[in-house]
Structure 1
């Protein structure tokens, strides 16, 4: 079979990895199969966790075209409750998929899915598939999910998943220079920045099944308050636009001098399928053997807060000065060293009320505040993101963190619930800092450096609290006894810290037990005698201060 006759249409060929609800089995399904059985699917999976986010966003973008972007709360609730079991809803989905089916062929001659037909360089070279696979660090092959012959070829289904993920998360850096791109100099495409989704700290609210997940992240423009104009103009997924060429698209490609100009964003469906790169897969029959990746449409995240729904935002003084704009918001990216539960207070409705206009919660959560205000709904808050290094040209770390809770925890109007979460996290931070001080003080008793013992104690503290907090937050519901929850958390946290402190004391050396005189680092005329028993008393006293104050409040 020649390449000209090859077709792999993602609408009806299996390529999306899913886990089924009934038996936990893993399958690959087409787009149509995935949507039609979304009420029977637990979740989308992937070769790496980030694929779940990229593929979910692609499917969510379809909902905007199928059902519109201005649903009322009642219309949204009807869609959420009825789902694909409703013949009318399923007919709308099927009609849309049939209408745009031709744009989902991975190997189409004129409009290959998420690619640019005829893309080539002056020398007509292609790259190895390691350029398509995000978890292949430059020069670090031993850390990849694929190696050896696995990088020389892959199935069309797998290539399609990586294609969507690369368009979402590709690192910056020099790309191949496409013939026809006027920006190319000396055969090279110079950096335009990371792909769109790489700019954000993504949140996916996951429900009991895939249909719930898609709907929980599908936000109507009615989320915006009176006076806010989101300007979702010409907001359609990439496959509804003209097939791409090596050249940029005038109303999409954002010139450097127009960074922060919101007219380029268009809306959520556009950003969820943004074509940051021009890509073409090389293949033999249905086996993909290489890839060409060139620059696509440049876009920067400044002030996209009314268009990108799945991340939090913060006001940036430095960007306001750099762009000479009175107001600039930037995405709140995830910190790989900080677990998701530690940032939970910033996602609550009560916290937003006290934060003024310096931070904005994800609009997915703002919408759920409205449509699910009085619902008891177990959900999983799933955080995704990448950390780039070396001028954003390489991937340093990835974020994949989850938190199981009732939706009421983050949508409740009760300010006391938001304060409870804030106090619980603050108490954990303060207690773990006290644990670190204990470790440092034991080191002082022994006459050894303190930095490493402090760091190791704090790391072990957060590791131990990770499971405890996640377990505790799952017990919170819309009608919970908040005073009882506060007491329960304080008792758990204090007991856990005392246990960790006892472990540190058990490993204290005889020299620490005897102790020594330590001269004050700032005032050499002052000194304090340190021994293990004394610093343990200080530690316990500090815990009493932290948690007894919480009880009194």
Structure 2
């Protein structure tokens, strides 16, 4: 059976000059300046490839950046050192073999259970039926696993190391922690507890550069990626702190073996339908001093032995722009309990030093996972991508003030819209307020309708940061239009009971006029008078 080399075989989907192709590691890095970016449908796999492969190879082959000047020099060159990358990958070709019998990439050779049992490869792919999950939206069951190509299997393998569930894992021969044929107490993959934030640039080269942390202290001698460890991984796993950034990025949270089979029905003649998946290494202690891809929030009263901070996770159904408080907290400030992801704080410093241009086409990808029962299933993957003006990362910039003001005003208007809905509900005799976790609240509809406007505002500020004041006025005018477009249908269809309400004798009781008057007052308080905004915008 032919092997599959991750160095040269196509397995990383990218957008190259508008065409989607699959490339190997060498091509992705050497020609990163010609690639628009990763082109994966699954954001979990995209983040896994970036963290588990591309960034560590780049750090190993081209060296760790220790100063802003080091970073600027590499940025200005505009390409990665293809000779060093090729030399590194050539010397380690056997370490990037997906189906090696001695050291398969990110796997354990010969991993097996006492009864040589295997599981369907769908166990690695959350969107596919596996185990006892009912395949409501899938025509497959566990007895009929899908055929994954070697490329798809490699991507799923890496994603599992990052995001796998915390369910009971199969016990394997050689694991001293196995009890009754299984291993319990497993945590989710290390990224499962984070709100991942990935800065994106105009090309893959820019994206990789924006994700390369500057390490003033350099690299610890024992910090290395998983494929460069002195001995191949075995079934025995450990509970330990990471040795450094490379160790953390390539953390092996599971012990896995892909089982390839000859398959003439698929291109290349090899497919993967079965897998062995067992418990892997568990992180000990906090990683906030190393982790570059999440924001952190201070814990007011941490328990004994617990870290003073916890990662900021993304909320389901919440657009990324509503979390600007965490994304823009790039400079430590007394009393501020949130700090931005290290990479955004680093970008702020590079912009302040004039290394990053003010009109940089910066975007951020936010990815998070919501787990279900005892974190044994994945309920939802939260993903969003928004433009982010790089000038907004600076503490005293006008762009930052405007962006934060827009998010704050939108939140105030969301609350006002919910209050309007509750008042009309009470006026119509519908009883108590709509519970926050049931039904569709008017404020949530409003925020959804705000999102296209906010995206346009952010994109405009990225291109023209000098127009921040004008952009804020335009936002106030359009936001008022959007809120009336959202609430007018509800006001227009209010029934006769809503005009007088359940208590007609009360001066400010729940009724249609009171609800509308309250909303108008809030609009003026939050956005200012519409006539004044339009006049100032015309004069700007």
One fold, TM greater than 0.5?
Answer: yes
2:16 maps to: 20
**Residue 405 to residue 152, structure 1, CA distance change in 2 (3 Å):** closer
Task: Please say if 1:505 is aligned against 2:491.
Answer: yes
The aligned runs of 1:16-415 (5 Å cut-off) are 16-21=12-17, 24-57=18-51, 58-84=53-79, 89-136=81-128, 139-143=133-137, 151-222=145-216, 232=220, 234-241=222-229, 242-249=231-238, 253-254=239-240, 264-285=241-262, 286-300=270-284, 302-317=285-300, 320-323=302-305, 327-349=307-329, 352-354=331-333, 356=335, 358-373=337-352, 374=354, 375=357, 376-410=359-393, 412-415=394-397
Larger deviation, residues 155-164 vs 233-242: 233-242
Q: Distance in 1 between matches of 2:76 and 2:85?
A: 16
- Indicate if the aligned counterparts of 1:345 and 1:418 stay in contact, CA closer than 8 A: no
**Residue 321 to residue 363, structure 1, CA distance change in 2 (3 Å):** same
Q: Which runs of 4+ in 1 moved over 6 A?
A: 145-150, 549-552
TM-score (normalised: structure 1): 0.86
Q: Distance in 1 between matches of 2:397 and 2:390?
A: 15
The secondary structure found in structure 1 opposite 2:10 is: coil
- Give CA-to-partner distance per residue, 1:77-118, whole Å, 9 cap, x none: 22223233x6xx111111111122111111101100010001
- Indicate if the aligned counterparts of 1:62 and 1:269 stay in contact, CA closer than 8 A: no
**Residue 230 to residue 248, structure 1, CA distance change in 2 (3 Å):** farther
The CA RMSD over aligned residues, in Å, is 2.6
2:479 maps to: 493
Q: Distance in 2 between matches of 1:518 and 1:140?
A: 52
TM-score (normalised: structure 2): 0.88
- Indicate if the aligned counterparts of 2:108 and 2:257 stay in contact, CA closer than 8 A: yes
Q: Distance in 2 between matches of 1:396 and 1:144?
A: 16
- Give CA-to-partner distance per residue, 1:212-234, whole Å, 9 cap, x none: 11111011113xxxxxx798452
The secondary structure found in structure 2 opposite 1:470 is: helix
Q: Distance in 2 between matches of 1:267 and 1:341?
A: 31
**Residue 272 to residue 401, structure 1, CA distance change in 2 (3 Å):** same
Q: Distance in 2 between matches of 1:186 and 1:299?
A: 24
Residues matched between the structures, number: 513
Larger deviation, residues 136-145 vs 181-190: 136-145
Task: Please say if 1:466 is aligned against 2:455.
Answer: no
The Cα shift of 1:357 comes to: 6.2
- Indicate if the aligned counterparts of 1:518 and 1:528 stay in contact, CA closer than 8 A: no
The Cα shift of 1:125 comes to: 0.4
The Cα shift of 1:146 comes to: 7.2
Q: Distance in 1 between matches of 2:332 and 2:206?
A: 27
Larger deviation, residues 159-168 vs 264-273: 264-273
